């Protein structure tokens, strides 16, 4: 993907379970020719208070109602993202950030929710379309008290999903396909095998 280095840097600072979940999401997005840039991950208390001040004591629009310690970002269990586009352009040729991205936040969120994320776009009081979080049933109080989502569970779910995608792709390889499709499918199979070797 175009933004691998930036995304990798942001992912490396997240909670371990969240790291697996975000990589799981990126694996899934490749299957539908989607790409995202992570614009925010782990936030320090100072960063969170600075963001909270925007639109209150600092110029700009209000973008959060959460002070330091009240945001899942403070615990490394949330990301904000922007779609990279346009949709349909090969992943290695994408360069434009799609801040408006009509409908794409919803389609990306639908994939994320399938694998356990909560989407800020579903919030009624302060919808936040670029926001995804993974707390696996934990409350903000749980996070404040040091509890975190299970890394083992997140890793297990990612592996199981990857094995299933690999199985389907290998079955598809047995069919008579046009050369371009066969090439892309082979690249995907090889990618999944390399991924599974790391587990």
Mean pLDDT for back-to-back runs of 10 residues, the chain (199 residues):
81 98 92 87 96 94 92 98 72 63 89 97 93 97 98 96 91 85 86 85
The pLDDT, as a whole number, for residue 92 is: 60
Task: State residue 159's pLDDT score.
Answer: 94
Question: What is the structure's pLDDT at 181?
Answer: 81
Q: Which contacts qualify for 118-125: CB closer than 8 Å, 24 or more apart?
A: 125/65
Q: What value does the CA radius of gyration of the chain take, rounded to a whole number of Å?
A: 18
Looking at residue 146, its pLDDT comes to 97
What is the pLDDT at residue 182? 86
**pTM over 0.95, yes/no:** no
Note whether 165 and 34 are within 8 A (CB): no
Note the pLDDT of residue 31. 79
State residue 112's pLDDT score: 98
Query: What is the per-residue pLDDT for 167?
Result: 92
């Amino acid at each position: 993907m175009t933004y691998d280095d930036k995304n990798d840097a942001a992912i490396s600072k997240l909670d371990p379970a969240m790291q697996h979940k975000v990589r799981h999401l990126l694996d899934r997005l490749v299957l539908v020719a989607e790409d995202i840039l992570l614009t925010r991950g782990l936030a320090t208390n100072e960063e969170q208070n600075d963001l909270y001040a925007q639109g209150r004591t600092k110029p700009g629009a209000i973008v959060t109602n959460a002070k330091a310690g009240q945001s899942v970002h403070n615990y490394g269990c949330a990301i904000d993202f922007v779609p990279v586009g346009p949709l349909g352009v090969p992943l290695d040729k994408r360069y434009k950030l799609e801040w408006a991205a009509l409908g794409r936040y919803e389609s990306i969120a639908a994939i994320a929710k399938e694998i356990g994320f909560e989407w800020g776009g579903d919030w009624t009081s302060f919808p936040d379309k670029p926001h995804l979080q993974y707390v696996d049933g934990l409350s903000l109080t749980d996070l404040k008290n040091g509890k975190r989502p299970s890394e083992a569970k997140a890793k297990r779910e990612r592996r199981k999903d990857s094995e299933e995608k690999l199985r389907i792709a290998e079955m598809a390889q047995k069919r008579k396909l046009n050369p371009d499709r066969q090439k892309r499918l082979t690249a995907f199979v090889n990618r999944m095998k390399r991924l599974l070797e790391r587990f």
